[in-house]
A and B are shown apart, each in its own frame.
Chain A
């Protein structure tokens, strides 16, 4: 069982990362990643929705018939997103002012329906929630990395307005990396998001290939040692 969870963690965070490996959920990704802080907020909200929808879908997996499963999943996800939206507006209002526009977009995030369909509907609640959490964290990782790259290039800051998102004790995260920076507009605009995403995808492939080569070399060395 512990191996299963290890696989879930690996898949969600890296091997099948929703953005870097599957290239899903690009609409919210490119829309919010003008800054790392916005990416972080959107990622955390999406993670919450993924965990909750994983739980609910897994709970009802035995009574949901295959013929109507898609509308049922859509209904569940839309309800959860709306509830998250209303609760944030009421109790985390400052954060909602920053992210409010993007929360309803979570419904359009195909990754959530994808996880419900391909994982949560076939597994019990605990693994389903773990999968939701890990997929969400993998998505958050992608959002923060992309947001950070675009923010540093575009505005010369990192985690601007983080205190608004996480509270005043996190104001130390707000860095001005390049003082008096005039800004590089392309990085903040949507085309810059696409370009940056392309570089990150290429970077991930390069890294994966390096790792594979190293592993192969190690295996060969081990095999050679074994026969000798």
Chain B
């Protein structure tokens, strides 16, 4: 009875909040409307859709022994309480993507992003994560690539591997670019971010030498150290002697990030990577909770219009119409292919009971999507003029502050140099113009939320706290991504020459790490020298690769559902797959063929080549033009490759499905045979 009443109340609240979102136009809307709509929609999706999928489509069986029970080795395979697996899984999937994507997508207004984050998560992303998690749990925790190989064929598996490697490279490059844009000419941010490295090393030594494995003690020590580093950074910023030591241009910082990435890939994990990850996880969870509390307490007004004029494709952050680019840009906050890699990695080995996949798979993604909604709120509560001034590259709006405010004001989003200067002073920065990448504007938004909740006097501290928070966990992803990429490369190189495949042979470690860092370092460098900010090219490329991976995951899921004879339920994954394929194909097609140089990569390269030949470029731009031209063509070829991989896997899946429907022979299912669980919890749940 209570359940029914609560469901009715939830549905009413959802209808009320969504109605509010639909009816408010041409006047500022309160963030609480968005927040309420989001929470209600997640809860309804979890209560009904997830439960229905678990029961009907997946036939989740609580009495079936999971690999954690059958293969329990006390290490990787351990039956774990679902609340703890939820924590693990959420910490693993929560990355910087849902913070950056929604911020960039805010150029279309708050409505398109909000709608896609909610609809995409409830019907697409959460479904994908939950289904892949269950399929992997039933296959002894096999990875997405292995499942593609087992269920579709060897070529599908190989395509998944190459797709994963490309996404690692692009992801690392774009994240590197985001932190470089945060640190350039900001001694406070740079010194704080630099200080997190010795902090991580100290924690690493503490956890290995002095108090082995005492993770909570070590993390507490680390959090104290980096908060001290934050305060010390503020002090450094006011010392005329120390300040210049941490004041660098973007190219130098990119070099530093590249060297750092190489070191992190070859050093033992306990020294740098593992302790940094503990710090980033605690900081991340703490900040997410803090942000949610602060938004509810301050319930700020959203100043960005519901829909801006930039839906026509002329936006300053990146070119392209709202369809398909809002979907490509949001990526991780709604549907993230990358999650399928985690959901088929460590998590399935911890699941005690099949019924837990609903909370762990669907629930974690709903929470991740909620983080995306908060990032969107933090970005859209800024004055639109300020938002565009922070996020637009100098090549788009003009290099001088006067030119930039003139351009932006002429779009109908008034902003003044004095306003930007006052904001920069309040945040403890010299300038906030042209800090593209999403992180600085998110930090300004977060600082104003935290500032008005916990004291306005500390704005500069909150701004740099937000910056450090983003930087720490971007660097954690950079480390982990480079390392995993290194292993994948070694695996591939091992096919060419066997010794290169040995993950502990030092020459092979150095070679594979250098190749991996070189690959993403190249894209990072090009992004840094690009006067348009680089993010405008790299982020859509990352979005396309991420959605391509989601297409692969959903293809594997669809193929397995149809093979298992549940044809009538295949729409559950087929509809999101069709949408992801449509969006990715349209976006990739436009990136390749569009004649508009703001969207089409070949068009942009040709345009720049023409300008270079006719000598109209100023000398500093002419110097970098050949590299930019080459890079834009390269990006176009990579986009084609991604598109080819996606369609290759989809067609392979279609082939398998057609064979199944015609009754032709197929690879047998790789599902582990049923075994009755002996665990108390499982039998209790199976017989209520």
B partners with A: no
Residues on A facing B (Cβ under 8 Å): none
